[in-house]
Structures are given as structure tokens and as C-alpha cells.
Amino acid sequence: METTDNLDNILDRLKNISTEQLRKEFISREKISHSEIEEKLKQEARIKDHKRKECLRKIFHIGNIGVIVALYVIMIVGIMVLGYHWIAPESYSFLTYEQLDKIKNILFSALVTNYAKETYKITFN
């Protein structure tokens, strides 16, 4: 019975206290200053900003990898088509000599550029 009496007393006191008094009491008990709250908010903002930037970097990174993979696939297909036309008889050819020359020029210029870049550590801007 004592606990119910105590609870009733607590509830009666809470009814008589205004919300402003409760807010002041809560703030005084927490002892968190306004500057500490602002610092926590700024820190959370920095963390969220960092996550946004990293997300964008990740998207661009995946896009760059996709472009590089697509270029390698195109080069491999070009090499296969060129090799097929060199090995197969002319009756099986489906490209003209001009088209084969264009493919050959594109592939070998890409290969030479890549070789020069790797050998001489040249950066192309």
C-alpha cells in the first residue's frame, strides 16, 4: 500500500508542475550546455556530409570502372574480329579492307599509347 501512496503523491506533484518547470529541471539535471549541443550537431553534420561525399565518389568510381571495362571489351572484340579476318578465307569476310584498316589503326594506336604510358610513366591530361 505504501508504494501506491508514493505513486499517487508523485503523480499529484507532476500534475501541479508546469511544462516550463519540467524543461528547466530536465536541462539542469542533464547539465548539457548549449555549446555542447551545438558541437554535437556540427559533428553529426560533418559525418553526414562525409557520407554523402563518399557516396558520390563511390558512384563515380563505379561509373569509371564500367567505362574502362566497356573499352576493354570493345578492344577484345576488335582484336577477335581482326584476327578472324586475318585467319579466315576471304569468302567468309564480312568487313571491307577500309573497315579493317580503321579497326587496325584504332587498336594499334590504343596499344601503342598504353605501352608508352606504362613504359615511360607518361601522364596524359
- Residue 89 has which C-alpha cell? 578465307
CA–CA distance, 22 with 39 (Å, rounded to integer): 24
What domain range includes position 73? 60-120
116 contacts 122 by C-beta, under 8 angstroms:
yes
How does DSSP classify residue 100? H
Residue 101 lies inside a defined structural domain of this protein:
yes
Count of domains forming the chain: 1
pLDDT at 27: 62
Residue 38 lies inside a defined structural domain of this protein:
no
- pLDDT tens for the chain, 125 residues: list them: 566 677 777 767 766 666 666 666 666 655 566 677 778 788 888 888 888 888 888 999 999 999 989 988 988 998 888 888 888 888 887 888 888 888 888 888 877 787 777 777 666 55
107 contacts 78 by C-beta, under 8 angstroms:
yes
pLDDT at 69: 92
Predicted TM-score (pTM) of this structure: 0.50
End-to-end CA distance of the chain: 84
